[in-house]
Amino acid sequence: ANRLGKKDEL
Amino acid sequence: MNIFRLAGDLSHLLAIILLLIKIWKTRSCAGISGKSQILFAIVYVSRYLDLVTTFISVYNTFMKLVFISTSVATIYLMYVKFKATYDHNHDSFRIEFLLVPCFLLALLINNAFTPLEILWTFSIYLEAVAILPQLFLVSKTGEAESITSHYLFALGSYRALYLLNWIYRYYAEGHYDLIAIFAGAIQTILYCDFFYLYITKVLKGKKLQLPA
C-alpha cells in the first residue's frame, strides 16, 4: 500500500 | 476516489447531520450516547492530525474539518447546552475499557511504529467499537426515536460502503490495508442486528423496539 494511497481516505 | 468511498463519506456526513438535526430540533439528546460521541471525537482528532502535515485535496481537508468540528459541536450540545436532557443513567458504558485495549493493540499491530501511524491505527481500532456505548444505550432503553435509527443506519452504512471501496481499490489499484479492512469489517458486523431491526421495522413505519 503506498503511503499517500493509504492516507487519502477519511 | 470511487463511487463506494464517495457514497460512504456522504453517508457518514448525512449521519452526523441527522444527529445534529435530532438534537437541535427536539432540543434534546435523549436516546443518544454521549460516550460514543466522545469516542468519535477522539477518533477524528487522532486520525486527522495529518491535516497539518499532508495536503491530499480540498475535499479531504474540508471533510476532516467538518468531521472534527461537528463531533465537537455535538459534544457541546449534549454536555453543555442540552445537558439536562442527557441520559446519564443509561449511558453508563465504561469507555476506558475501549480506549485502553485499542491503544495497546495499536502499539502491537500497526503498519509502522511512528507516533502518527500509531495514532492512526488507534483511531481505526477505536472507530470499530465506538458505537458500542450507543448500541448499549439503545438496548437498555429498549427503543430509539426514528431519526436516531436513521442516524445509526447512515453511520453503519458508511463503513459498509468503505468495505466495498477497499474491494474495488484492491482490484482496481492493488491498494489495500488489512488493519483498516479488518477493523471496518468488525465495525460493520456490530451493526448487523441493528440493520436487521431497521430494515424489518423502521422501514415499515414501526418504531425501533428491541425485543425486551
ipTM of the complex: 0.88
In chain B, whose CA is at the least distance from the CA of A2?
A: B175
Q: How far is CA B171 from the centre of its chain?
A: 26
Predicted confidence (pLDDT) per residue in B9-51, tens digit: 999 999 999 999 999 999 999 999 999 999 999 999 999 999 9
**Residue B209, domain member (yes or no):** no
> What pLDDT, on the 0 to 100 scale, is given for residue A1?
40
- A5, A7, A10: residue with CB nearest B54: A7
Would you give the end-to-end CA distance of chain B in angstroms?
43
Residue B93, by phi and psi: left (phi above 0), alpha (psi -120 to 50) or beta?
Answer: beta
**Residue B82, helix vs strand vs coil:** coil
**Residue B35, domain member (yes or no):** yes
Cell numbers linked to B55 = 495536503
Which residues sit opposite B208 in a β-bridge?
Answer: B144
Residues B175, A5 contacting (CB under 8 angstroms): yes
Q: Which amino acid belongs to residue B124?
A: I
- B60, B165, B177: residue with CB nearest A1: B177
3-state SS record for B142-156: CEECHHHHHHHHHHH
Window 63-102 of B, Cβ < 8 Å to A = 63-64, 67
**Residue B94, domain member (yes or no):** yes
Please report residues of B whose CB lies closer than 8 A to that of A4: 54, 56
**Residue of B56, B64, B119, B163 to mutate, testing the A interface (most A Cβ within 10 Å of its Cβ):** B56
> What pLDDT, on the 0 to 100 scale, is given for residue A6?
54
Distance CA B184, CA B108 (A): 18
**Res A4 pLDDT > 70:** no
Residues B43, B123 contacting (CB under 8 angstroms): yes
**Residue B80, helix vs strand vs coil:** helix
**CA atoms within a 13 Å half-sphere pointing along the CA-CB vector of B115:** 2
**Residue B90, domain member (yes or no):** yes
At which residue does the C-alpha cell 493493540 appear? B105
Contacts of B164 (CB under 8 A, 6+ apart): B4, B8
**Residue B211, domain member (yes or no):** no
> What pLDDT, on the 0 to 100 scale, is given for residue B153?
98
Count of domains for chain B: 1
> What pLDDT, on the 0 to 100 scale, is given for residue B208?
87
Distances (CA, A) of B194 to B63, B156, B199, B200: 27, 9, 9, 10
- The DSSP 8-state label assigned to residue B79 in this structure reads I
Would you give the end-to-end CA distance of chain A in angstroms?
16
**Residue B16, domain member (yes or no):** yes
**Residue B21, domain member (yes or no):** yes
Contacts of B27 (CB under 8 A, 6+ apart): B82, B85
Can you list the residues of chain B whose pLDDT is less than 70?
Answer: 212
Residues B168, B2 contacting (CB under 8 angstroms): yes
Range of the domain at B111: 3-203
Please report residues of B whose CB lies closer than 8 A to that of A3: none
**Residue B153, domain member (yes or no):** yes
